[in-house]
Amino acid sequence: MTVRTRFAPSPTGYLHIGGVRTALFCWLFARRHGGQFILRIDDTDQQRNVEEALAPILHGLKWLGIDWDEGPEVGGPYAPYYQSQRLDRYRAAVEKLLAGGHAYHDYATPEEIQAERKAAEAEKRIFTYSRRFLAETPADCARFEAEGRKGVVRLKMPREGKLVLDDLVRGRVEFNWANEQDHVVQRADGSCLYHLANVVDDEDFHISHVIRAEEHLSNTPRQVFLIQALGYNLPQYAHLPFVAEPGSKNKLSKRKLDKYLKNKDFAQLVEHGNKILHAIGEEKPPELLNPVMVDFYESVGYLPEAIVNYLTLLGWSWDDKTEQFTREELIEKFSLDRVNKAPASFDPKKLLAFQLRHMQVLPVEQKVPLVLPYLQKAGLLSEQPNKLDFGKVAAVVRAAGDRIKVAGDVLDFPEFFVSDEQLVVDPDARGKAFGKPEAVDLLKKWLEILQTVKPFDDPTLEKRLHEFVAAEGIKIGQIIHPLRVALTGKAVGLGLFDTFAILGRLVSMSRIKRTLRSIESMPL
- Torsion, CA 65, CA 238, CA 45, CA 189, rounded to 10: 150
Rounded Cα–Cα distance for residues 183 and 203 (Å): 20
Print the SS3 string covering 431-451.
HHHCCCCHHHHHHHHHHHHHC
Q: Are 276 and 406 in contact (CB under 8 A)?
A: yes
Q: Which of 118, 124, 162, 254 is catalytic?
A: 254
Q: Are 240 and 339 in contact (CB under 8 A)?
A: yes
DSSP 392-415: HHHHHHHHHGGG-SSGGGGGG-GG
**H-helix or E-strand containing 470?**
helix 458-472
**H-helix or E-strand containing 304?**
helix 304-312
Query: How many CB atoms within 10 Å of residue 53?
Result: 17
**H-helix or E-strand containing 139?**
helix 138-146
Rounded Cα–Cα distance for residues 141 and 393 (Å): 74
The answer to whether the Cα torsion of 180, 182, 188, 192 is positive or negative is: positive
Query: What is the bridge-based pairing of β-strands 134-135 and 36-39?
Result: unpaired
Closest to 394 measured CA to CA, from 371, 418, 420: 371
Instruction: Please indicate whether residue 124 is annotated as part of the active site.
Output: no
- Displacement of CA 146 from its chain's centroid (Å): 52
CA distances from 242 to 26, 250, 253, 274, 316 (A): 14, 9, 11, 27, 12
Between CA 303 and CA 308, with CA 306 as vertex, the angle to 5 degrees is 110
Burial category of 428 from C-beta neighbours within 10 Å (exposed 0-12, middle 13-18, buried 19 and up): exposed
Helix (H, G, I), strand (E, B), or coil: what is residue 135? strand
Query: What is the bridge-based pairing of β-strands 152-155 and 134-135?
Result: unpaired
Strand partners, 239: 212
Query: How many CB atoms within 10 Å of residue 480?
Result: 14
Residues ≥6 apart with Cβ < 8 Å to 106 = 131, 133, 134, 135, 151, 152, 153, 154, 182, 184
Rounded Cα–Cα distance for residues 350 and 359 (Å): 14
Helix (H, G, I), strand (E, B), or coil: what is residue 502? helix
Crossing angle of helices 477-488 and 496-521, rounded to 10°: 80
Question: What are the residue numbers of the active site?
Answer: 254
